[in-house]
Amino acid sequence: MVAFHFPPLAGGSGIQRTLRFAQHLPALGWQPLVLSADPRAYAQTSTELLAEVPSETVVQRAFALDTARHMSLRGHYMGWMARPDRWVSWQWAAVRDGLKMIDTFKPDAIWSTYPIATAHLIGARLQRKTGLPWIADFRDPMAQDGYPSDAATWQSFKRIEERAVTQASACVFTTPGAARMYRVRYPQAPTRMQVIENGFDESSFAGLSKHTVALNPGKLTLLHSGIVYPSERDPGPFLEAVAQCLQQGSIQRERLRIRFRAAVHENVLVGMAQKYQLQDVIELLPSLSYREALAEMLCADALLVMQAANCNEQIPAKLYEYLRAGCPILGLTDADGDTAGALRASGISSIAALDSVEDIAALLPLFLTQVANAKADAPQTCTVQAAERHLRSLELAKLLDEVTRNSSVSTNHTSVAASL
């Protein structure tokens, strides 16, 4: 499993996808080997999730540098030094270490996950050198309209995804919309495009209780947990709608708190809070440990998810944890996107366009009233259970069985089917 996002990296939903696969696959007949990056490449580290890496899992951390932190001069560096990403230096040691792991453990398949794009470079080179079947996992689409904004980086992304479509036995996407987009983009390989969604891990919620303590006693707390992107999750129209509702008296200032946890772009929110005079309504709080963040979700009165129309083929990984938390959810997203589709499939109907102040202002008072009266939609249990990561791992195990069964590469072992 070639994965940049892996403990002890702090933050990033991609950690959960790879970590939970590594936990669940052994019971499904596959013993993972993990090829990750040296922790020096991570801007922040935490030992919190290291204990959850199975003791029998082989983890190789190849030398890697962050161009922006380790190879810049006064904060500047040449663009080619960060293509396809700032961790491109990882590929050299990772390919060397990966080949040694293949020689030692005789794995049956290679699995790599984007982002980071360099992971697919590593996967492609290992596949070419060994002939092993390769599964390219795309947690997000790569070359998109206007992203990456740098033309040379966009071209490098395009070349990598074209290489994956050509070389990989399967390309896996986390949403139906992304798979559809790639089937259209690459009509020569539609059957290679598979979907294995993100999910939640039930064990992460073990021992946590719902609504054990109010986040703001006497007030209704609407929680957004995770990064707020100025474009893809622009909070501007939402906060303008809140200000409009307060001015009209359709919601009560003293009864509402909007909590942004680990938003990263706090400066954007501070500016908007000042602009719309919401300083006493908005709370900006730092990151928590993973379990603490889950506990906070369970104690929120309602949860807020934001996803712009330019991300219609993506679903925030946090949404699956929201669904497991069982709280009412306010979805600010495009009605035609995959995020809205996932909400509706879960029984959530409180959805308004992220970029429409008018739509949000019309929905917000009704939603908050329903929450206060315990009449708001809650996620349906059957849909939530289907998103458990053990079931996602079962899907991956079946795909690994399929690609190795169809592979012409012979293996020298019978008992260990390992993905590298």
Do 66 and 83 lie in a common domain? yes
On whether residue 260 sits in a domain, the answer given is yes
Residue 24 per-residue DSSP state: H
Do 186 and 233 lie in a common domain? no
Do 371 and 315 lie in a common domain? yes
Domain of 143, in residue numbers: 14-199+388-405
Q: Which residues pair with 279 in a beta bridge?
A: none
On whether residue 56 sits in a domain, the answer given is yes
- The dihedral over CA atoms of 111, 116, 117, 118, expressed in degrees to the nearest 10, equals -80
**How many domains does one find in the chain?**
2
Do 176 and 254 lie in a common domain? no
On whether residue 8 sits in a domain, the answer given is no
C-alpha 355/C-alpha 238 separation (Å) is: 8
On whether residue 3 sits in a domain, the answer given is no
The confidence band for 418, taking pLDDT boundaries of 50, 70 and 90, is very low
Do 174 and 216 lie in a common domain? no
Q: How are strands ordered across the β-sheet holding 193-195?
A: 110-114, 134-138, 170-173, 193-195
Do 371 and 394 lie in a common domain? no
For the cut 50, the answer to whether the pLDDT of residue 415 exceeds it is no
Kindly report, residue by residue over 76-92, the tens digit of the pLDDT. 999 999 999 999 999 99
Kindly report, residue by residue over 242-276, the tens digit of the pLDDT. 999 999 999 999 999 999 999 999 999 999 999 99
Question: Could you tell me the pTM of the whole model?
Answer: 0.92
Do 360 and 235 lie in a common domain? yes
The stretch 371-390 carries a mean pLDDT of 95
Do 183 and 209 lie in a common domain? no
For residue 119, which amino acid is it? A
Q: Which of 304, 314, 306 is nearest to 338 (CA)?
A: 314
What CATH number does the domain containing 112 carry?
A: 3.40.50.2000
Do 93 and 118 lie in a common domain? yes
On whether residue 5 sits in a domain, the answer given is no
pLDDT at 269: 96
Do 317 and 237 lie in a common domain? yes
On whether residue 240 sits in a domain, the answer given is yes
Do 185 and 269 lie in a common domain? no
Do 112 and 214 lie in a common domain? no
Kindly give, in sequence order, each residue whose CB lies less than 8 Å from that of residue 183, ignoring residues fewer than 6 positions away: 190, 193
